[in-house]
Amino acid sequence: MFLYLRRSQGLLWEILLMGATIAADCPPKCICDIFKVNCRNKGFVSFPKNLPLNTRYLDLSRNSITEINSLQINLLSDLVYLDCSHNAISEVSKLDFLAGSRVAYLDLSYNTLKRVGATTFQTLASLIVLKLAHNKIRNVQNNAFDSNIGIRELDLRNNSLTFVNVTAIKTLSGLHSVYLSGNPWDCQCTVKDLSQWLQKDKSLFPDDKDTVCRSPNSMAGIKVSDALNNILHICLAPLDYFDYIFFVMVGVTIFISGIIVATISGIIMVYLDRQRKYTETDDDIEPVLYPPAKSNMRFSQINT
């Protein structure tokens, strides 16, 4: 209890202190301009404090920062541009961006991030550019970018991705460029959706030619966009259940059409045949040609 009190008091004290330093000039060594703070390559090992509260542009690139300080960054409710590239950040969470609804540009490339959670970027509804290249991301959870509906550029180059679920990403209508090269893509049947997407929306992937499979061995080096053609025959059975239904339907349709065509042509033939017989009866049937005696004789022969 006492500890907890002390901790929250500490936090309160920190907030009060920050209130007192609202007019704070600039973190040491940084260059501050109106709305703009540049702390690029200044040897920071932790997130700087005393950032001007009206900061819109914050460049923290090329330092050794290990984590984004939620408390500090959430004070910057006007922040639009945040460059944290070339640092040592291993984890970011939703809490870091609670006040980040105006952030349009977020660069976290060249860090050591390992995953993108379903809610990590959830609050960043204004995001346009998200750079996550050159990290160690192994896993992007389903629906991770669902809230980033305005996103235009998504850079996931040079990570450790073997699979990504593209179902939700594909539906983001503003997408303009998606970079996926330099990942060890696993080109088994699970790559089907990604491969199809790469094949279909070619203009979306500027680095398509470098987006290649790493495993299995037989697929290594093959472009992910070409992978589908190579694996289709293996993956057909589990994946194309609807194709089978389609083929059966086509078969049934052809069968039924056949019957209908046969029936109609049969009816037409019979009709034409009758027509012909009628006209023949009218014109040229002569009883003389069929002598009744002869046929009687033949019948009696058969019967005996």
Ligand X SMILES: *[C@@H]1O[C@H](CO)[C@@H](O)[C@H](O)[C@H]1NC(C)=O
Site for ligand X in 136-155 (CB under 6 A): 142-143
**Minimum gap (Å) between residue 116 Cβ and ligand X:** 14
Question: Could you say which of 8, 46, 90, 167 contacts ligand X (CB under 6 A)?
Answer: 167
Rounded distance between C-alpha atoms, residue 220 and residue 214, angstroms: 5
Which range in 8-16, 24-32, 99-107, 161-169 contacts ligand X by CB under 6 A? 161-169
**Minimum gap (Å) between residue 147 Cβ and ligand X:** 13
Question: Could you say which of 168, 172, 189, 232 contacts ligand X (CB under 6 A)?
Answer: 168
Which range in 1-9, 37-45, 164-172, 266-274 contacts ligand X by CB under 6 A? 164-172
Residue 5: half-sphere exposure toward Cβ, Cα within 13 Å: 2
The type of residue at 229 is N
| CB nearer ligand X, residue 35 or residue 163 | 163
Give the angle subtended at the CA of 293 by the CAs of 289 and 298, to the nearest 5°.
100
On whether the CB atoms of residues 227 and 187 are closer than 8 A, the answer is: yes
Phi/psi at 155 (5° precision):
-115, 110
**Minimum gap (Å) between residue 142 Cβ and ligand X:** 4
Rounded distance between C-alpha atoms, residue 296 and residue 288, angstroms: 15
On whether the CB atoms of residues 98 and 123 are closer than 8 A, the answer is: yes
# of chain residues touching ligand X (CB under 6 A)? 5
Rule CB under 6 A: say whether 171 interacts with ligand X: no
**Minimum gap (Å) between residue 178 Cβ and ligand X:** 16
Which range in 160-168, 212-220, 254-262, 293-301 contacts ligand X by CB under 6 A? 160-168
| CB nearer ligand X, residue 83 or residue 186 | 186
| CB nearer ligand X, residue 77 or residue 139 | 139
Residue 209: half-sphere exposure toward Cβ, Cα within 13 Å: 0
| CB nearer ligand X, residue 143 or residue 196 | 143
Phi/psi at 90 (5° precision):
-105, -10
On whether the CB atoms of residues 133 and 180 are closer than 8 A, the answer is: no
Rounded distance between C-alpha atoms, residue 27 and residue 58, angstroms: 12
Q: Which pair of tokens denotes residue 242?
A: 């609807």
Residue holding tokens 């994946």? 239
Question: Could you say which of 165, 196, 199, 230 contacts ligand X (CB under 6 A)?
Answer: 165
| CB nearer ligand X, residue 74 or residue 119 | 119
| CB nearer ligand X, residue 44 or residue 185 | 185
Phi-psi sector, 49: left (phi>0), alpha (psi -120 to 50), beta: beta
Q: Which pair of tokens denotes residue 107?
A: 């660069």
Which range in 7-15, 57-65, 78-86, 163-171 contacts ligand X by CB under 6 A? 163-171
- Residues of this chain that interact with ligand X (CB under 6 A) are 142-143, 165, 167-168
